[in-house]
Amino acid sequence: MGFWIYMLAMDLLIPLIMTGFGWYFSGRAPRKINPVFGYRTAMSMKNQDTWEFAHRHSGRIWKICGLVLLPVTVVPMLFVIGGDEGTVGTVGGIVCGVQLAVLIGSIFPTERALRKNFDKEGNRRKDGQG
């Protein structure tokens, strides 16, 4: 049972962090563009406008994805409660893999929105079309 609790706690980290940073970033971006903290891609770091837009957009995505991933994490783990370590570890690993796919996949809609709203130099498009 101890290993199951450990795996559940570890699997809950990604959804909880996504939800927390989603709430934070959807309301405010880190003040200055920096190489350490925040949504950092070449396009998001073009200027302050792209930086703030990317954080608001990715924050909304992370907030939703994190909340959706919470039950997606807990339900499979409930099916293996009391199971042997191999089963619990396998299910926990699969859940973590799904979470990582969602986390990495969240980059694509944000980059698409950046390209739609900004040109390659980071200037805001007037029509919002890429």
Task: Express each pLDDT in 98-118 by its tens digit.
Answer: 999 999 999 999 999 999 999
- As a whole number of Å, the end-to-end CA separation of the chain is 53
Distance CA 130, CA 115 (A): 6
Every domain of the chain and the residues it spans:
2-27+38-117
* Whether 102 contacts 65, CB under 8 Å: yes
* Whether 69 contacts 14, CB under 8 Å: yes
Q: What size, in residues, is the chain? A: 130
Give this prediction's pTM: 0.84
> What is the SS3 assignment for 11-57?
HHHHHHHHHHHHHHHHHCCCCCCCCCCCCCCCCCCCCHHHHHHHHHH
Q: Is the pLDDT of residue 25 over 70?
A: yes
Task: Express each pLDDT in 53-110 by its tens digit.
Answer: 999 999 999 999 999 999 999 999 999 998 899 999 999 999 999 999 999 999 999 9
